[in-house]
Amino acid sequence: MYDRYEGLIFDMDGTILDTEPTHRLAWHEVLKPYGMRFDEEALIGLNGSPTWRVAEVLINSHQRDMDPHQLAAEKTALTKTMLLDTVKPLPLIEVVKAYHGRRPMSVGTGSEHAMADMLLKHLRLRDYFMAIVGADDVKRHKPEPDTFLRCAELMGVLPAKCIVFEDADFGLQAAKSAGMDAVDVRLQ
């Protein structure tokens, strides 16, 4: 189905791995001691953003004077412990398996590189991907195209010959800005 593309790029959270419920639970637990809460729709709107940016939005919405990087670090630490027990692949992983060895593939995620690497290794999926580009690997994050452009570069494929699989508006915008076709997995 995707044979005309020379490189396949996959977002991770909510696209190939079912991590979203755990991320929401981790945010709930981390925010509770600070007397903060989040609006689920607003959080969904930030899908694809790096954790520190989500923390920044949450802090600003509560008009708090906190370091977003510190809050993000707390959330990431908690998420790491929770995800190892709960993470499962989503059905799109069958596309990954079908193209393994046939096309170069990479993961372009708003999660930190180490988190993506750890989860993919935990599920024995890491070897399917030539590269991982995480939030800490680029300066400009989704909806900017840098994550996906870096994936294409690491795979040695021209951006116009790549397809991106995404579940978030920011990621779809990033793919378009990178000159790549995209599949909105929410519509599949």
Q: Kindly give the residue spans of alpha helices, DSSP state H, lying in 32-86.
A: 40-45, 51-61, 68-86
Question: Catalytic pick from 11, 13, 137, 146?
Answer: 11
| Residue 164 bridge partners (DSSP) | 9, 182
SS3 of residue 50 by DSSP:
coil
**11 tagged catalytic:** yes
On whether the CB atoms of residues 150 and 133 are closer than 8 A, the answer is yes
Interatomic CA distance for residues 12 and 107, integer angstroms: 6
Active site residues: 11
